[in-house]
Structure 1
């Protein structure tokens, strides 16, 4: 899952992209998306239980983020804890969904979070939805119908429902970090929420972790998840986001849900059904349409 961190408007981004960091921003975003996209495959390859994966990955990722945030004073409020719990739930739901349904369904159903962001944003942030927001919601609802149109086992149906619920928890995390970003400065506030979430993941999953067999294979997979899929990916994203427009960040990081099931298909031979593929196209199309339209309509404000 890609963290939802407030990014610059198009006008501001164009102003700051004249230097070397600005020119490298798209490359950094591509690197972040590539690393995030390995999550589904690594989770499926691990023999550990979901809680153990949650704790092990959280422990490694928190260590990496502590190095990245060294010198930053942590300021934790109730909003930080709400955001952290929402992100913790997102991680757990994604791991469970990936184990129970296809990697494609798990990641694309998570990307239906705009369905919840629109009403939550209206209620909590006073952001009034525009016509494009309602159009996006209709497209995403159609996508949902196709995801649940394929024949599913009991586990597959449960996995889809868990993935759909993870879209809601992503929306809560998004709203909280946007609210914090208005007061505390965007990326640092979101990074603190993410760090707190991984700390909570260790606490929640540690008892389960103690009962696992620490084989070289599973240790290696957890290190890949914590250091690269989470830690290094976040560093690339945080490095790029001050120089990227919201549109650029959204479009490039859409590589994650596209590549996630591709790696699983190439390595494990798992392929989503035809209706799920059509649903995935609708979800991607809805998110991209929303980004393109928002960027044209509001060039001088953050999106």
Structure 2
């Protein structure tokens, strides 16, 4: 439980890191954070599985490729969502991913959701609607919609992971980071942003990919081996709880009333669903 809490706590600093970046553009952020993410996840995989790097690469299969493709889009939309809306809205909206995964899993692989899931889903949709409505008034519509798209891609990844039967999603996470790195690199060149960034921004982006995300995912997947899936889903919510606090505490980024109400509603809905659902769902984060 402590490992999962520690991993979720590490991941909660992503929003603060995003706000500390001074001049780097979205695709540059995606590229450099994905670079260190790939390196850290590959290192963790090799150590956990006690294999060399090339053996690890040979072990990747089509399921990892599909998960990586979904995750790369989720990573990209997550970065730009953070740039176009508040940290709180991004994190709270992405929390709806398990509900999306329940619907996709039902339609795609025939996993019928628990009846309670439907009631919890109504509450979650209500919470997200409050945040999106508030975002429209504040001019954050694009950022909130990108957060919804990111949640959808995470949900697809979760269903792909369940369909594959894999014990963890580290292989897919590595490829997700690699594909996101390629997207960020190509897009940075095509948009004229280039790859030159300040040492300050470079340090934050590399730290964000390696430690807040890479180490965070490693701790969560490690702890998930010893904790029931329902408890993992609850414990990892600490990311969404702490995530908005750090920018507020250190940078003064406040939460609106609707963000607080909507976010609390979504998280209560997730807790409700998790308490009645005991199926194992792999956990990862943007």
Shorter-normalised TM-score: what interval?
Answer: 0.7 to 0.9
Q: Distance in 1 between matches of 2:135 and 2:31?
A: 33
Q: Which residue in 1 is equivalent to 2:93?
A: 109
Asked if 1 retains the 8 angstrom alpha-carbon contact of 2:93 and 2:147, the reply is yes
Deviation for aligned residue 1:85: 1.5
Is 1:163 the counterpart of 2:142? The answer is no
User: Residue 193 of structure 1: SS of its match in structure 2?
Assistant: helix
Is 1:248 the counterpart of 2:241? The answer is no
Asked if 2 retains the 8 angstrom alpha-carbon contact of 1:108 and 1:257, the reply is yes
Q: Structure 1: give runs of 5+ residues left out of the alignment.
A: 1-25, 296-300
Q: Which residue in 2 is equivalent to 1:216?
A: 199
User: Residue 152 of structure 1: SS of its match in structure 2?
Assistant: helix
Deviations 1:155-207 (A, max 9, x none): 40111111111111111011011111x2xx311xx111111111111211124
| More off after superposition, 275-284 vs 147-156 | 147-156
Q: Distance in 2 between matches of 1:214 and 1:167?
A: 29
Is 1:27 the counterpart of 2:2? The answer is yes
Aligned length: 268
Q: Which residue in 2 is equivalent to 1:226?
A: 209
Q: Which residue in 2 is equivalent to 1:11?
A: none
Is 1:138 the counterpart of 2:122? The answer is yes
Asked if 1 retains the 8 angstrom alpha-carbon contact of 2:24 and 2:197, the reply is no
Deviation for aligned residue 1:302: 4.0
Q: Which residue in 1 is equivalent to 2:167?
A: 186
| More off after superposition, 68-77 vs 46-55 | 68-77
C-alpha change, 1:153 and 1:45, in structure 2 (3 Å) is farther
Deviation for aligned residue 1:115: 3.3
Is 1:292 the counterpart of 2:267? The answer is no
C-alpha change, 1:151 and 1:245, in structure 2 (3 Å) is closer
Is 1:61 the counterpart of 2:44? The answer is no
Asked if 2 retains the 8 angstrom alpha-carbon contact of 1:55 and 1:206, the reply is yes
Deviation for aligned residue 1:152: 3.4
Asked if 1 retains the 8 angstrom alpha-carbon contact of 2:74 and 2:154, the reply is yes
Is 1:150 the counterpart of 2:134? The answer is yes
Q: Distance in 2 between matches of 1:154 and 1:285?
A: 25
Q: Distance in 2 between matches of 1:151 and 1:102?
A: 9
Residue among 15, 38, 44 paired with 1:40: 15
Runs of at least 4 residues off by over 3 Å:
72-79, 151-155
